[in-house]
């Protein structure tokens, strides 16, 4: 059977107490076959993000243990930070990496959601591809008013009922949002101008919400340290809207304003397939397919 790999990128409402974040990370790393790839904490946001991958069952188990550890260590009634949140573990997305579909990750999210309620008595909302109601596809709708508002509204308002569990926040751990989505590439393109208005206009042209590419979220921001403007993007499905298509579009739009692209940056990680697609495009490789790549052929031979 070919290798099956799922990524999980849970967010926790603790970004200052290293001992607590260590404990959560350890509960993930302790699960056999799970590889913890990255951990990042932000003291201002008072929030941490773990990135781990592994076979579906192992990743589900690691996610559950992380939620359990976070519930034991984090008291949301005492939490303050710059980032909106409703739970000790705030959001748990599952992402298909290899040999699994987005639908498989929806099933995984549902299973973990029910386990979180059954074992820990923390109510669960499903979001993105796992959403049970259209208005819950978007995380921000679920998180509106944050933990403090949810404490009162969950029992009172039908629209705030969780998807799993009783309609009351866990007293210290709040609620958890669990879901499934495709791999997200955080990609920023720097413009040879300090004029943020140009970056904002380009962002508006290319993003889906104002009529641009599907699977592109974008905004124009200043890059103060370098006196440049930046088009800051999330590519939510790079197979639908590839990196190179977005890059070329930003370059062309910038040209209309007499501005050059001076560089770009990837925040976090990028799947190799996105780079292979870009290389194939720019090198105009007519016969490009993943099987041309030595390492892909080796992985195939190893799996066969």
Q: Retrieve residue 153's tokens.
A: 């509204």
Q: Which is nearer to a copy of itself, 5 or 218 (CB)?
A: 5
DSSP letters for 89-123: EEEEEEEEEES--HHHHHHHHHHHHHHHHHHH---
Task: Tell me how far apart the terminal alpha carbons of the chain are, to the nearest angstrom.
Answer: 8
**Residues in binding contact with a copy of itself, number by CB under 8 A:** 45
For 222, counting Cβ atoms within 10 Å of its Cβ (0-12 exposed, 13-18 middle, 19+ buried), the class is: middle
Q: Does 302 bind a copy of itself (CB under 8 A)?
A: yes
Footprint of a copy of itself on residues 85-114 (CB under 8 A)? 97
Q: What kind and span of H or E run contains 265? A: strand 261-267
Q: Does 265 bind a copy of itself (CB under 8 A)?
A: yes
Q: Does 247 bind a copy of itself (CB under 8 A)?
A: yes
Residue 244 a catalytic site member: no
How would you classify the pairing of strands 35-42 and 124-128?
A: unpaired
Q: Does 297 bind a copy of itself (CB under 8 A)?
A: yes
Of 14-22, 36-44, 69-77, 145-153, the window that binds a copy of itself (rule: CB under 8 A) is: 36-44
Q: Does 261 bind a copy of itself (CB under 8 A)?
A: yes
Q: Does 266 bind a copy of itself (CB under 8 A)?
A: yes
Q: Does 215 bind a copy of itself (CB under 8 A)?
A: no
Q: Does 153 bind a copy of itself (CB under 8 A)?
A: no
CB of 261 to a copy of itself, least distance (A): 6
Q: Which is nearer to a copy of itself, 115 or 193 (CB)?
A: 193
Say which of 45, 79, 83, 244 is annotated catalytic. 83
Q: Does 272 bind a copy of itself (CB under 8 A)?
A: yes
How many CB atoms are closer than 10 A to CB 127?
A: 26
Q: From residue 263, how far is each of 196, 231, 238, 293 by CA, in Å? A: 16, 11, 19, 26
99, 55, 92: which is closest to 173 by C-alpha?
92
Q: Does 283 bind a copy of itself (CB under 8 A)?
A: yes
| Residue 191 and residue 199 in contact, taking contact as beta carbons nearer than 8 Å | yes
Q: Which DSSP category does 235 fall into?
A: E
Q: Retrieve residue 111's tokens.
A: 């299973």
CB of 41 to a copy of itself, least distance (A): 18
Binding a copy of itself (rule: CB under 8 A), the pick from 37, 103, 149, 157 is 37
Binding site for a copy of itself (CB under 8 A): 5, 7, 35-38, 53, 97, 183, 190, 243-244, 247, 261-266, 269-272, 274-276, 278-280, 282-288, 292-298, 301-302
Catalytic positions: 83
């Amino acid at each position: 059977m070919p290798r099956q790999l799922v990524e999980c990128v849970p967010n926790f409402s603790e970004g200052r107490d290293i001992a607590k974040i260590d404990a959560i990370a350890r509960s993930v790393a302790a699960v056999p076959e799970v590889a913890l790839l990255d951990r990042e904490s932000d003291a201002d946001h008072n929030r941490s993000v773990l990135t781990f991958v592994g076979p579906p069952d192992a990743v589900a188990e690691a996610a559950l243990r992380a939620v359990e550890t976070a519930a034991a260590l984090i008291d949301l009634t005492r939490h303050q930070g710059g980032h909106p949140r409703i739970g000790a573990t705030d959001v748990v997305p599952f992402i298909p990496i290899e040999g699994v579909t987005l639908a498989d990750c929806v099933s995984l999210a549902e299973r973990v959601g029910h386990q979180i309620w059954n074992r820990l008595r923390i109510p669960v909302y499903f979001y993105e591809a796992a959403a049970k109601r259209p208005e819950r596809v978007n995380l921000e709708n679920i998180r509106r008013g944050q933990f403090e508002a949810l404490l009162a509204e969950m029992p009172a308002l039908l629209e705030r009922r969780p998807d799993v569990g009783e309609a009351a926040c866990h007293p210290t751990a709040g609620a958890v949002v669990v879901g499934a989505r495709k791999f997200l590439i955080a990609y920023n393109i720097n413009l040879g101008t300090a004029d943020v208005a140009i970056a904002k206009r380009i962002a508006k042209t290319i993003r889906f919400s104002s009529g641009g590419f599907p699977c592109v979220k974008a905004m124009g921001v200043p890059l103060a340290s370098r006196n440049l403007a930046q088009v800051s993007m999330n590519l939510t499905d790079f197979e639908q809207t590839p990196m190179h298509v977005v890059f070329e579009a930003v370059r062309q739009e910038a040209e209309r304003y007499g501005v050059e692209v001076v560089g770009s940056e990837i925040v976090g990680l990028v799947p190799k397939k996105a780079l292979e697609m870009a290389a194939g495009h720019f090198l105009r490789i007519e016969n490009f397919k993943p099987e041309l790549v030595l390492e892909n052929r080796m992985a195939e031979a190893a799996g066969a």
